[in-house]
């Protein structure tokens, strides 16, 4: 036990906790009088030069490498430039790219604004942003303003309501297509459930549940050396494996709300046609006391640990209730500081039946045995989405059970065909806004907060986008 404590002390002291704060704002809410201009794919088009789509990557950690694997696995793409402030991360990514027999891209590093030099020096068809959360919006905005036609940003796309408006306003002003890279929307069961919803199997939708329930205590307190990307089933160790604790843990110190809502909310929003005939109206959030991270430090490092006196602000369990324009309710749960198995807690329920992924259950009135669950596998096999049916063999080689490949394939098809982003700036803003709004509601003792309409009325007539095989 003493040895493990000494190891923990050394490990999390190296990871450290910063002192950056979070500024909540709603500047964009005061700019809603303008008539919205629907973005259309335009901007500099490099791919016409040689038929290859030209990609750039900002942030070259393990998530970036997963994206690179999928970009290069799809024919007709090349990587022009990559950027990261940590040189060892760049070197590891260069080795990863070399494994595909791909020429080394130009690298940018040295300071926090190196990405601006990259955007100035090159013409891209797409720039992928996989940096720490606080850099998502500044980098996405810079890429759109630089004329990049398609910009993919990792989740959550924004941390505050003000940042959400920044994404929407910039996309509308530039015509760039912003794609939120929410891979869970492409999880096989989620896509099958969406097919069940679209075909009316569950009847009229009434309620949904979702969340991010994932024990991240080891992630929030590690030095990064023992955490790196997986390739071929083997965990690759090395000094280039930089930990999320360098930045992620700080959000648990300064914030109290659902700081990571989109994994659960994205698929649910698609089932509910949010921004396309429906929208979120109001939100209420409450948080439990904060205990898990402090207890984890004491249990593993003892009371003399350097972080034992840190006050964590994030409640261990944050529960958010959302009301929709079409009458449905949604419960979103954030739970990352507690000992528990992983679950996104999906529940899609209508007048005729429901799906609950905890337990892998489906029930459809008139088809299922009364009052008894069906195993979901049979239903999902029957309603398997065409993207999965056609790309299964290629997808199974990719990360996160294949959904990363399916997502990137769908995005690249949109880029190559000059179509709108599958999950656009309005989706990125709406799904991510739960973070800032939940913080407001928690700070006000669970008071209701109005949900901004980032489409400014366009949701009423925006068509539902169907993921297909083209």
Q: Mean per-residue pLDDT for 285-290? A: 98
pLDDT at 20 over 50: no
Q: Would the pLDDT of 89 be above 50?
A: yes
pLDDT digits (tens, 9 = 90+) for 231-241: 333 223 333 34
Judged by average pLDDT, the poorest of 30-39, 184-193, 203-212, 302-311 is: 30-39
> In terms of DSSP bridges, do strands 53-58 and 126-129 run parallel, antiparallel, or are they unpaired?
parallel
Q: What is the mean pLDDT of residues 193-217?
A: 98
Answer for the pair 76, 146: CB distance below 8 angstroms, yes or no: no
pLDDT band at 263 (very low <50, low <70, confident <90, very high): very high
**Cα–chain-centroid distance for residue 351?**
30
Q: Please tell me the predicted confidence (pLDDT) of residue 85.
A: 95
Q: Domains of the chain by range and CATH?
A: 2-16+185-388+424-460 (3.30.360.10), 27-182 (3.40.50.720)
pLDDT tens digits, 93-107: 999 999 999 999 999
* Mean per-residue pLDDT of the chain: 88
Contact (CB, 8 A) for 38 and 106: no
- Could you tell me the sign of the dihedral formed by the alpha carbons of 169, 172, 174, 177, in that order? positive
**In 355-385, alpha helices (H):** 376-382
Question: For residue 194, is the peptide bond before it cis, meaning its omega torsion is within 30 degrees of 0?
Answer: no
Instruction: Give the bridge partners for 450, in sequence order.
Output: 282
3-state secondary structure of 356: strand
* HSE value, Cβ hemisphere, 13 Å, CA-based, for 118: 33
Per the CB < 8 A criterion, the answer to whether 257 and 283 are in contact is no
DSSP 8-state secondary structure symbol assigned to residue 274 = B
DSSP class of residue 44 equals B
User: Quick one: average pLDDT of 35-56?
Assistant: 64
Find out whether 436 and 161 touch, Cβ atoms under 8 Å.
Answer: yes
Average pLDDT over residues 398-409: 94
195 — phi, psi (to 5°)? -65, -40
Q: Tokens standing for 124?
A: 């891209």
Q: Which of 308, 326, 72, 320 shows the shortest CA–CA distance to 205?
A: 326
**For residue 310, is pLDDT > 90?**
yes
Does 44 score more than 90 pLDDT?
Answer: no
For residue 466, count CB atoms less than 10 angstroms from its CB and return exposed for 0-12, middle for 13-18, buried for 19 or more. Answer: exposed
Look at residue 164 and tell me whether its pLDDT is greater than 50: yes
8 Å CB contact between 397 and 230 = no
Residue 9 has pLDDT above 60, yes or no: no
pLDDT at 150 over 90: yes
Residue with the bigger pLDDT between 179 and 230: it is 179
Helix axes of 403-416 and 386-395: crossing angle, nearest 10 degrees:
110
Q: What confidence score (pLDDT) does residue 184 get?
A: 98
User: Distance of CA 392 to CAs 47, 338, 402, Å?
Assistant: 27, 34, 8
Cα(127)–Cα(55) distance, integer angstroms:
6
Taking 70 as the threshold, does the pLDDT of residue 121 lie above it? yes
Looking from the CA of 279 toward its CB, the CA atoms found within 13 Å total: 21
Q: What is the reported pLDDT for 17?
A: 56
CA–CA separation, 295 and 415 (whole Å): 47
pLDDT band at residue 221 under the 50/70/90 scheme: confident
Across 42-46, 211-215, 428-432, least confident range: 42-46
- Spatial neighbors of 106 by CB under 8 A, at least 6 apart, are 80, 81, 82, 118, 121, 122
Does the structure show a pLDDT above 60 at 228? no
pLDDT digits (tens, 9 = 90+) for 311-350: 999 999 999 999 999 999 999 999 999 999 999 999 999 9
Supply the pTM of this predicted model.
0.90
**Structure tokens, 134:** 């606080």
Q: How far apart are CA 76 and CA 69, in angstroms?
A: 13
Instruction: Evaluate if residue 33 carries a pLDDT over 80.
Output: no
Residue 7: band (very low, low, confident or very high) from pLDDT cuts 50, 70, 90: low
Instruction: Give the CB-side neighbour count of residue 264, counting CA atoms within 13 A.
Output: 30
Question: What single DSSP character describes residue 343?
Answer: B
Share of the chain above pLDDT 90, in %: 80
Rounded Cα distance between 36 and 457, Å, is: 9
Cβ–Cβ under 8 Å, residues 455 and 36: yes
- The pLDDT value recorded for residue 3 is 60
Q: Any residues with CB less than 8 A from the CB of 376 and at least 6 apart, and which?
A: 189, 355, 357, 360, 361, 362
Dihedral sign, CA of 437, 442, 444, 450?
A: positive
């Amino acid at each position: 036990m003493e040895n493990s404590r000494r190891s923990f002390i050394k490990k999390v002291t190296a990871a450290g906790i910063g002192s950056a704060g979070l500024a909540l704002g709603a500047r964009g809410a005061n700019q809603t009088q303008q008539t919205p201009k629907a973005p259309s794919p335009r901007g500099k088009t490099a791919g016409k030069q040689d038929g290859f789509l030209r990609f750039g990557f900002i942030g070259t950690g393990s998530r970036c490498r997963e994206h690179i694997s999928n970009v290069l696995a799809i024919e007709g793409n090349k990587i022009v430039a990559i950027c990261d402030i940590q040189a060892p991360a760049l070197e590891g990514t260069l080795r990863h790219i070399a494994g595909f027999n791909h020429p080394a891209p130009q690298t940018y590093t040295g300071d926090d604004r190196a990405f601006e030099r990259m955007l100035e020096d090159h013409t891209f068809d797409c720039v992928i942003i996989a940096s720490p959360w606080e850099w998502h919006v500044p980098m996405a905005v810079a890429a759109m303003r630089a004329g990049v036609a398609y910009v993919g940003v990792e989740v959550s796309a924004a941390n505050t309501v003000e940042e959400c408006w920044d994404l929407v306003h910039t996309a509308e002003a530039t015509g760039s297509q912003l794609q939120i890279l929410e891979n869970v929307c492409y999880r096989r069961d989620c896509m099958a459930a969406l097919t069940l919803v679209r075909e009316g199997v569950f009847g009229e939708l009434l309620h949904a549940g979702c969340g991010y329930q994932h024990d991240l205590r080891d992630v929030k307190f590690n030095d990064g050396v023992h955490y790196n990307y997986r390739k071929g089933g083997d965990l690759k160790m090395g000094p280039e494996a930089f930990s999320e604790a360098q930045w992620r843990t700080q959000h648990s110190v300064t914030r109290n709300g659902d700081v990571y809502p989109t994994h659960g909310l994205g698929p649910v929003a698609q089932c509910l046609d949010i921004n396309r005939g429906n929208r979120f109206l109001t939100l209420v959030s409450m948080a439990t006391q904060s205990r898990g991270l402090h207890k984890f430090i004491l249990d593993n490092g003892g009371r003399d640990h350097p972080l034992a006196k840190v006050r964590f602000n994030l409640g261990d369990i944050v529960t958010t209730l959302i009301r929709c324009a079409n009458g449905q309710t949604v419960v979103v749960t954030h739970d990352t500081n507690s000992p528990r198995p992983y679950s996104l807690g999906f529940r899609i329920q209508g007048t005729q039946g429901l799906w609950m992924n905890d337990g892998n259950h489906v029930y459809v009135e008139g088809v299922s045995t009364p009052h008894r669950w069906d195993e979901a596998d049979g239903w999902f096999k029957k309603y398997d989405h065409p993207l999965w049916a056609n790309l299964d063999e290629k997808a199974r080689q990719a990360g996160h059970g294949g959904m990363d490949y399916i997502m990137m394939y769908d995005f690249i098809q949109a880029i190559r065909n000059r179509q709108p982003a599958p999950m656009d700036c309005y989706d990125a803003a709406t799904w991510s806004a739960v973070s800032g709004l939940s913080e407001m509601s928690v700070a006000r003792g669970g008071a209701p907060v109005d949900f901004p309409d980032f489409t400014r009325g366009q949701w009423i007539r925006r068509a539902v986008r169907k993921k297909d095989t083209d």
